[in-house]
Amino acid sequence: MHTQQQYITLKHNMKLPMVGFGTYLINDNDVQSLVYQAIRSGYRHIDTAEGYGNEHGVGLGIKAALSELGISREEIFVTTKLYPGNEAWGQPLKTHESIIESLQASLARLQLDYVDLYLIHAPFARTKRLEQWKALLELQRQGKARAIGVSNFSEAHIEEIKAAGLPLPDANQIELHPWSQKPELVAYLTRNNIAIIAYSNLVPLSSWRNVEGQASAKTDQMKADGADSPFKAMATKYGVSEAQLLLRWGVQNGYAVLPKSANAERIRQNIDLFGFEIDAADMAAIAKMDRGDGVAWQSGDPTKEA
CB 293 within 8 A of CB 180: yes
Closest CA to 19 of 3, 31, 40, 35: 3
**Binding of residue 135 to ligand NAP (CB under 6 A):** no
* Phi, psi (rounded to 5 degrees) for 171: -150, 155
Q: Which one among 181, 200, 229, 299 touches ligand NAP, defined by CB under 6 A?
A: 200
24, 36, 43, 52: the active-site residue: 52
DSSP 8-class letter at 89: G
CA distance 137 to 142: 9
Q: How does strand 45-47 pair with strand 21-22?
A: parallel
**Binding of residue 94 to ligand NAP (CB under 6 A):** no
Q: Which is nearer to ligand NAP, 23 or 140 (CB)?
A: 23
**Binding of residue 55 to ligand NAP (CB under 6 A):** no
**Binding of residue 241 to ligand NAP (CB under 6 A):** yes
Instruction: Write the single-letter amino acid at 101.
Output: E
Q: How does strand 7-9 pair with strand 15-17?
A: antiparallel
The least distance separating ligand NAP from the CB of residue 52, rounded to whole angstroms, comes to 7
Residue 100 makes CB contacts below 8 A (sequence gap 6+) with 135, 138, 139
146-185: contacts with ligand NAP (CB under 6 A): 151-152, 173
Q: Which one among 125, 148, 202, 256 touches ligand NAP, defined by CB under 6 A?
A: 202
CB 16 within 8 A of CB 195: yes
Geometric angle at alpha carbon 301, from 296 and 305, rounded to 5°: 35
Q: Tell me which stretch binds ligand NAP (CB under 6 A): 123-131, 138-146, 188-196, 197-205.
A: 197-205
Count Cβ atoms within 10 A of the Cβ of residue 71 and give its class: 0-12 exposed, 13-18 middle, 19 or more buried. Answer: middle
Q: Which one among 41, 86, 140, 270 touches ligand NAP, defined by CB under 6 A?
A: 270
CA distance 208 to 202: 6
- SS3 state of residue 33: helix
Q: Which one among 14, 130, 262, 264 touches ligand NAP, defined by CB under 6 A?
A: 262
CA distance 24 to 161: 28
Q: Tell me which stretch binds ligand NAP (CB under 6 A): 61-69, 89-97, 128-136, 261-269.
A: 261-269
Q: Tell me which stretch binds ligand NAP (CB under 6 A): 59-67, 136-144, 196-204, 223-231.
A: 196-204
Q: Which one among 80, 201, 253, 299 touches ligand NAP, defined by CB under 6 A?
A: 201
Q: Which one among 134, 266, 291, 304 touches ligand NAP, defined by CB under 6 A?
A: 266
Identify whether 199 is a catalytic site residue.
Answer: no
The least distance separating ligand NAP from the CB of residue 165, rounded to whole angstroms, comes to 26
Q: Where are the beta strands (DSSP E) in the chain?
A: 7-9, 15-17, 21-22, 45-47, 77-82, 115-120, 145-151, 171-175, 195-199, 256-257
Q: Which is nearer to ligand NAP, 25 or 93 (CB)?
A: 25
The least distance separating ligand NAP from the CB of residue 70, rounded to whole angstroms, comes to 26
The least distance separating ligand NAP from the CB of residue 89, rounded to whole angstroms, comes to 15
x-marked contacts with ligand NAP along 20-39 as a string, rule CB under 6 A: --xxxx--------------
Catalytically active residues, by annotation: 52
What is the contact surface with ligand NAP in residues (CB under 6 A)? 22-25, 47, 121, 151-152, 173, 199-203, 205, 207-209, 241, 243, 258-263, 266, 269-270, 296-297, 306
